[in-house]
Chain A
Amino acid sequence: MKAADEIIKYFINFCHEALNLDIVQSAVFGIGVIAKRMDQHSFSQYKNECLQIIASIITAPDAYSEEKAVCTDNAVGALGKIALYQSQTNDKVSEEVLLKFLQLLPLKNDSEEAQAVHKMLLTEIINKNAFLASCSQEVQGVLINAITNIKTQDINNPELEILDDQGKQLINSILEAK
């Protein structure tokens, strides 16, 4: 048994058990970390359950309450990692996961996670992520909207610090190229 396989099972269980919010936040973040680094074949057996866990966190009625908002941002970050690193081209479900992620941007409640997730998306665009590049025109439009919303949010609410200096540079170069 591989270590990452063992650990993701515990992360999934900790999200289900929900002993406390800090554990759920760290475990769902860890699911995202593994989604980013595990090969698609290995992750495929966990993908649906991970998406269900993430959905239950981000669709909770109080998902953006003061208590839960940081945890929700980490769940959205994990969704983004699944969307960007565990998707197949020409796959409707993969596009739906990406669309859901893009619609939840920008992250505003956890500046550290917001900067990391926004930079991850911008870097993948610059690096011509194969899945992103293969998406339909409709999805490309949502992608540009999401980026524009991140930039607008950053300009209007600089105190939220949703972009670091590198993120600002990346977003400007992407929007200038459009």
Chain B
Amino acid sequence: MEISTKLMELYQEKIEGLLGNGIAPYFYKVIQNKDATPNEILYTVCFFDTFLEHCSMNVNNIRLIIISLVLLEGC
């Protein structure tokens, strides 16, 4: 979590594709998991705080990237 948020802060556009497409779906699963530990929830919330704060994309348009990958992975 710390690494991904620092990378986001430092490199923004260069890293946001990897974080949005590669890592965000996994964190998204964590917040859906009712058995997630408080630490897992905290790291996930911090990740999305940083991602949504620093990503160059329009926040209103991020849906397809994250959710479609979660669905694809579940197929």
Contact = CB atoms under 8 A, between A and B. Distances in A.
Interface centre among A11, A30, A34 (most CB of B within 10 A): A30
B45 interface: yes
Bin the interface of chain B by size: 20 to 34
A30 B45 contact: yes
A34 B42 CA distance: 17
Interface residues of A, number: 25
Contact of B63 (A1, A27, A30, A37): A1
B38 A23 contact: yes
B20 to A, nearest CB: 9
A87 to B, nearest CB: 18
A37 B49 CA distance: 12
A5 B63 CA distance: 9
10 contacts: A4-B62, A7-B48, A7-B52, A26-B49, A30-B48, A30-B49, A37-B52, A38-B60, A39-B60, A42-B60
Interface of B: 24, 28, 31, 38, 41-42, 45-46, 48-49, 52-53, 59-63, 65-67
Given A22-B42, A23-B42, A26-B46, 9 more contacts: A2-B61, A3-B63, A4-B52, A6-B28, A10-B45, A20-B38, A30-B48, A30-B49, A33-B49
Interface of A: 1-7, 10-11, 14, 19-20, 22-23, 26-27, 29-30, 33-34, 36-39, 42
